[in-house]
A and B are shown apart, each in its own frame.
Chain A
Amino acid sequence: MKRQYDMLVIGGGPGGALAAKTAADKGLSVCLVEKRPAIGVPVRCAEGIGKELLTDFIPPDPKWIATEIERAELVAPDDFSMLLEPKMAGSEVGYVLDRKVFDRELVWKAAEAGAETYVKARATAPIMRNGAVAGAVIEQHGKTYEVNAKITIAADGIESKFAKWAGIDTTVPLREIETCAQYLMTGIDIDAQMTSFYLGNEVAPAGYVWIFPKGKGLANVGIGIGGGKSGAGHRAKDYLDRFVARKFPNGKSIELIVGGVSVCKPLSCTVADNMLIVGDAARISDPITGGGIYNALYTGRLAAETAIAALEKGDTRKAALMPYDTTWRSSPMGKALERNYAVKEVFVGLSDEKLNAIVHSISKINLEEFSTLTLITELIKANPSLLLELKHLKAFL
């Protein structure tokens, strides 16, 4: 590890990997540190992503695609199911990934582009100079290194501490975190091309249960519940165990995954002098779906592009990095975050009766485009009363 780099990236998830690759591709000296001994392990993800979202960054590769998804179902609290299919039946709309392989591939691409990568290397404090971040103290194998950098990217995920250490409040409010548990299950009777989402206050209060297939009879079966609903005897794992006992009594678990997903508003500002915050660390997972892979990839790349431009001009102060913040906020991703936050606030308050009525209103939708926006629009068409509750959303829809 050297003493000085153009860019230091904290965290080897999708956000950090894309930032490091983008900067290294442009010839910057880049150091990426990941505190875990293996990239992407243990997994903290249900591994689902929309097809068109991914292809923007990396060509699909069977190495890290577990299954192609062609349809989805939304299951009401009373077990009635609404089928969602693309207009062109039989065309795939999304993938369930193998994040272990996917994340490693992304970091490998960053390394190939010229970035230095260090695992089991943890940032323990920022180096602060005149009130601005100037790198980080890194601990690896019992040694401590002072790594200086012109730009530091905080890509340290849900448990992000780096920006906090530098003075930015990143605390997620308890009621705005989804606390999650998931089994990778085998020997279960599922449609291997369909994802399922189960709603209901009994099944998953302020959240949902998902079944994301990874092959024949194999799937990620998981749950997220609102942090405010979690406590002794009624935690995410308790709800999941109940669901699994009812739905897949003969299934076998071959992996347990736990995690947290923020469904709050993004950080009020995602840049500071010499620092940009990307991915989960910026609190930019989708408030409805909890999806954050695309958001991390997109902001990771954008942060590096902004940093490159700032370095060329020799000014990396906050104002010079602001284009990163304003660009992602006005992007389709930023707009979706704003809209979906407002929709989520309404949906977490709905009773099971109301949820039943909404799902019963349509038994099958052929979606023009597979997105939460088109789904919400269709649901509102079939449930005009929803519009009353969502009226402050008119501007978005």
Chain B
Amino acid sequence: MLNIRRDICGYCGACVSVCPEGALELVDAFLTVDTACINCGICEKVCPLGALEVVKE
């Protein structure tokens, strides 16, 4: 599962552009993730602020 820390996110869209599954979407000033996410962790790496974490279920 991908945890989005909205308190940290600066809604820049960098993560959206690297997600291979198109699972992330920036809705104005908040980021959403949908069920297409495969927990690959690419977005977690790219975020300039560290707002994303893949949580092991």
A and B found bound together: yes
Q: Closest Cβ of chain B: how far from A8's Cβ, in Å?
A: 19
| CB interface residues, A 118-173, toward B, < 8 Å | 120, 122, 157-161, 164-165, 170-173
Tell me if B46 and A179 are in contact (CB < 8 A): yes
Contact status of A235 and B22, CB under 8 A, knowing A177-B14, A262-B17: no
Q: Which residues of B contact A120 (CB under 8 A)?
A: 28
Task: Assess A179 versus B28: contact at CB under 8 Å? Given A164-B22, A231-B45.
Answer: no
List A contacts of B14 (CB < 8 A). Answer: 158-159, 177, 179-180, 258-260
Q: Is the CB of B28 within 8 A of A230?
A: no
In whole angstroms, how far apart are the Cα atoms of A230 and B52 in the complex? 13
Task: Say whether A258 contacts B48, CB under 8 Å.
Answer: yes
Check if B1 is an interface residue, CB within 8 A of chain A.
no
Q: How many A-B residue pairs have CB under 8 A?
A: 93
Do B10 and A256 touch (CB < 8 A)? yes
Residues of B within 8 A of A262 (CB): 17
When each residue 319-361 of chain A gets 1 if its CB lies under 8 Å from chain B and 0 otherwise, what string results? 0000000000000000000000000000000000000000000
**Interface residue A232 (Cβ < 8 Å from any Cβ of B):** yes
Of A24-32, A34-42, A72-80, A186-194, which stretch is located at the interface?
A34-42
Q: Given the complex, which residues of A lie within 8 Å of B25, measured CB to CB?
A: 161
Contact between chains at A44 and B45 (CB < 8 Å): no
Binary flags per residue of B3-37, CB closer than 8 Å to A gives 1, else 0:
00000001111111111101001111100000000
CA distance A231 to B41 in the complex (A): 10
Q: Tell yes or no: A237 within 8 A of B by CB.
A: yes
B-chain residues with CB within 8 Å of residue A44 when the two chains form the complex: 12-13
Task: Decide if A174 is an interface residue (CB 8 Å cutoff).
Answer: yes
Cβ contact within 8 Å between A237 and B42: no
Query: A157 to nearest B CB, angstroms?
Result: 7
**B residues less than 8 Å from A237 (CB atoms):** 48-50
| Residues 87-143 of A at the B interface (beta carbon under 8 Å) | 120, 122
Q: Are A157 and B28 in contact (CB under 8 A)?
A: no
A284 CB within 8 Å of chain B: no
| B47 at interface by CB-CB < 8 Å | yes
Nearest B residue to A280, CB-CB: B17
Q: A172: nearest residue on chain B (CB-CB)?
A: B17
Q: Hey, which bits of chain A sit against chain B, CB under 8 A?
A: 35-37, 42, 44, 120, 122, 157-161, 164-165, 170-174, 177, 179-181, 227, 230-232, 235-237, 256-260, 262
11 residue pairs from A and B, CB less than 8 Å apart:
A35-B27, A36-B29, A122-B27, A161-B16, A171-B20, A227-B46, A235-B48, A235-B49, A237-B49, A257-B10, A259-B48
